[in-house]
Structure 1
Amino acid sequence: MLRVECDRWNESASKLREEALKANHARTRERLMALYEICNGKSATKVGRETGRNPQTVMEWVHRYNLSGIKALLYQRTGGHPPFFPQK
């Protein structure tokens, strides 16, 4: 069974939720809230179905978090044209 290893990073499900609510980018919020839901008993498949994401993507978020913590889920712009109106 897929498990979010919050203890490894001295965090909890409530900490994931707190970080999600104050995250600057929507994709970071989505990823952290998905982990929060998994911590509270939902499966990656169910979270994927509810969010419109492939369950494998959600599982990948869990694996990345388990390896590197919250910093691994922070959204980073990787290419394409820069936004016309930069975020503040």
Structure 2
Amino acid sequence: MDTTPTIYPAFRLVAQFADGQRLYFDGLTEQQAQQRMEAAQARHGDITWYDGVTDLHYENGRYHAMTPPPPAVNLFDLTEYPDPFHEKED
């Protein structure tokens, strides 16, 4: 059993190059990953397309643990309570 912890970089991009290679680029920031991707053009030719990785650990290039949770919206059902502004007058 391997007890080595797995470390996931904060950002991961995938790019396809003119020579047909499809490679992944990691970085602590999105700019760092993009700079590494652009530097690979010298070896593989122009980038034909790139995008953020979406898989088990990433969503659109961003490590899923970094994505903030959705905002909480609290709803209160007040239909059974009397309306103080429209009280019935006898």
TM-score category (smaller protein):
under 0.3
> Normalising to structure 1: TM-score of the pair?
0.26
Question: Which of the pair is proportionally richer in helix?
Answer: 1
Question: Which of the pair is proportionally richer in strand?
Answer: 2
Q: Larger radius of gyration, structure 1 or 2?
A: 2
> Normalising to structure 2: TM-score of the pair?
0.26
